Structure 1
Amino acid sequence: MPTISMFYGIIIRMYCSPREHNPPHVHAYYQDYKAIIDICACEVSEGKLPPKQTKLVLAWAEIHKEELLADWELASKGELPFPIEPLK
């Protein structure tokens, strides 16, 4: 699962597999926390991050929604997604 972005100690990854399930999503990791972020809804669909990191990840996902969906298309075909600019 390639890392597509990292910021403020948060790692964002996306699986690359034609069998990856919908809805489009990314995996966010922070210390011992893990969450799945629904790209279209920009919300946590599974898992948990601390409140501050949740806000950062959701803001980042909203800003980069189009890029994330384009990466999802690539990843769903088994291709590597492109890196996405971190939150600054």
Structure 2
Amino acid sequence: MPEITRFYGIVIKMFFGDHSPPHFHSIYGEYNALIGIESLQIIEGDLPNRAEKMVLEWATLYQKDLINIWNSQEFIKLPPLK
């Protein structure tokens, strides 16, 4: 599973050929969540509140890029949240 980015101890990854709906994985320590790219909501799993807010802020900034990665299945790294 390619790593898209990493910030503040949070790792964002995406499985190519994974099940619908389009989503990415967010891993923070022992927490793991699947985030819907279109809805920007947690589909499965959980994150601490602060980490969830940062992930959703980052995903809002790069939502179009995430959709392009999902659709093209071409790996690119995206900038971290600053």
In which range does the TM-score fall when normalised by the shorter chain? over 0.9
Which residue, out of 54, 60, 72, partners 1:74?
Answer: 72
Give the TM-score normalised by the residue count of structure 1.
0.89
Runs of 4+ with deviation above 3 angstroms: none
- C-alpha RMSD of matched pairs (Å): 0.8
Which residue, out of 23, 34, 37, partners 1:36?
Answer: 34
Partner of 2:78: 84
- Percent sequence identity over aligned pairs: 40
Give the TM-score normalised by the residue count of structure 2.
0.95
Matches within 5 A, 1:6-85: 6-17=6-17, 20-75=18-73, 80-85=74-79
CA distance in 1, matches of 2:12, 2:21: 16
Q: Which runs of 5+ in 1 are unaligned?
A: none
